[in-house]
Amino acid sequence: MTTQASTRTGALFRALVHRDFRLLWSAQILSELGDWAARVALGVLVHNRTGSKLLTAAVTAVSLLPWIGIGQALAALGDRFARRSVMVAADLVRAGMFLAMIAVEPVWLLLVLAFIGALATPPFEAARAAFIPEIVSEERYGDALALSNITYQVVLVLGYTAGGGLVALVGPEWALVVNAATFGLSAVLLFFLEGGRIGGMAASVGASLRAAVRTIWGDPYLRRAAGIATIGASCAIVAEALVVVYARENLRGVGDGAIGILAGTVPLGTILASALVRRHGTHEDLLRTSALVVFLGCAGGAAWFLIEPPNFWAVAGFFSIGVVFAMVIPAYAVVGTRLPGEIRASAFGLLQGLLLGGQALASIAGGGLAILVGPGPASAFALFPALGYALFAFLVPPGGKLKIPGLTR
């Protein structure tokens, strides 16, 4: 087991032998650093000008809104136009919006510019996700997904830290200038991609989305991957959404410093699990691996969150839900290799919309449940649906019958 884990960890960087993936990965680091750091800088800027908690929170809201509805239509652009062009244009739009923010005064206009910049994220991410299977070999595709996912988690932490550091060092306005520069540098790197220069099919955005829906729904393996990812992430996000309430109600002696510690353990769990999770094999085995990751993460989280507070080992619960998010690697390894290239960006946009939409609804429901039973039990109870579905997905192959390992032939 240790040898297998070491082998998987060492194989993480194998996809970097492909030149285009090296450029794409480097651009991902730059653009995501800019994205997360910009949220911090913009939040500080809005709060400095208004003192409003609601408007400050709206910074995060406008960054997520494009993924619900309009984001899917924009993601389909990655199938109609050259993927490289879509990514470069998206980065330039984001750079332009953040530069424009330093020249405007009304907060409502700042939020409008932030929303326009956020509109560029769905087509960028969908085109990038659709492009990876085209530039790496199938045997290295899982490694590429794992490296991208780990990079995202690391950059998330670094982006928040860098954003805070920039604001403290040069102020929020100049921090936005630096953030805009990261998007510009990302666009330059992507301009030198050798692949992704040819446009896709001439079908309309609506036709692309309909074809993507038919393909996902008609393939039991794709349906299973979508189910595992959506249900697992939606159930796990509840604890993360309640981290502030949990820390303040259950860890009062520690103070608000516990909030950052608990929140930080979530990406740490994802990073470790992503490095160790299985990334190669048959599609059935990959989906069962994804289900197993969800089951283990949810079981650990539920157990820790049900412990009577004060629970100073709560970090284990938040670490466990971080493990759940690593299930996207084997699940999306199946998705990326089963989807037809001409609708891949549209399909990834739909899947991401399901993922984020489910998390948004689950966060709201989790908040309501926390009012009734408290944040700890609410975080635990929210994991039960994912536990049940993960057990089902582990034992029943897509489109098949109950299959118990070691007992069923």
| Secondary structure (DSSP) of 18-29 | SHHHHHHHHHHH
CA-CA distance, 69 to 372, in Å (whole number)? 31
Q: State which residues form the domain around 275.
A: 201-396
Q: Are residues 244 and 121 part of one domain?
A: no
Four-CA torsion 59, 65, 66, 68, nearest 10 degrees: 170
Residue 297 has pLDDT above 60, yes or no: yes
Domain assignment of residue 405, yes or no: no
Q: How many domains does the chain have?
A: 2
Domain assignment of residue 402, yes or no: no
CA-CA distance, 49 to 37, in Å (whole number)? 19
Domain assignment of residue 404, yes or no: no
Residue 5 has pLDDT above 60, yes or no: no
> Where are the alpha helices (H) located in 51-120, listed in sequence order?
53-64, 70-75, 77-80, 83-101, 107-119
Binned at pLDDT 50, 70 and 90, residue 407 comes out as low
* CB proximity list for 308: less than 8 A, separation 6 or greater: none
CA-CA distance, 346 to 126, in Å (whole number)? 7
Q: Are residues 225 and 182 part of one domain?
A: no
Domain assignment of residue 401, yes or no: no
Q: Are residues 360 and 300 part of one domain?
A: yes
Cβ atoms of 349 and 126 closer than 8 Å: yes
Q: Are residues 114 and 247 part of one domain?
A: no
Q: Are residues 316 and 168 part of one domain?
A: no
Instruction: Report pLDDT for 92.
Output: 94
Domain assignment of residue 258, yes or no: yes
Residue 1 has pLDDT above 50, yes or no: no
Q: What is the CATH number of the domain that holds 27?
A: 1.20.1250.20
Domain assignment of residue 407, yes or no: no
Q: Are residues 346 and 284 part of one domain?
A: yes
* 196 burial type by CB count under 10 A (0-12 exposed, 13-18 middle, 19+ buried): buried
Instruction: Report pLDDT for 397.
Output: 87
Q: Are residues 128 and 53 part of one domain?
A: yes
Q: Are residues 185 and 227 part of one domain?
A: no
Taking all residues of the chain, what is their mean pLDDT, rounded to a whole number?
82
pTM: 0.75
Average pLDDT over residues 101-127: 87
Domain end, chosen from 192, 217, 246, is at 192
Q: Are residues 239 and 174 part of one domain?
A: no
In sequence order, what DSSP letters do the residues of 28-65 get, joined into one string?
Answer: HHHHHHHHHHHHHHHHHHHHHHH--HHHHHHHHHHHHG
pLDDT digits (tens, 9 = 90+) for 133-176: 888 887 888 888 888 888 888 877 776 666 667 777 777 788 78
Domain end, chosen from 138, 160, 192, is at 192
Its sign, for the CA torsion 52, 99, 156, 328, is: positive
- pLDDT, greater one: 333 or 72: 333
- pLDDT, greater one: 26 or 342: 26
Average pLDDT over residues 295-301: 93
Average pLDDT over residues 235-260: 74
Domain end, chosen from 137, 160, 192, is at 192
- pLDDT, greater one: 6 or 268: 268
Residue 352 has pLDDT above 60, yes or no: yes
Tokens of 331: 């699940």
Contacts of 161-168 spanning 24+ positions with Cβ under 8 A: 162/33, 162/36, 162/37, 163/36, 163/37, 163/38, 163/39, 163/40, 163/41, 164/40, 166/37, 166/40, 166/41, 167/40, 167/41, 167/44
Q: Are residues 357 and 290 part of one domain?
A: yes
Q: Are residues 292 and 257 part of one domain?
A: yes
Domain assignment of residue 409, yes or no: no
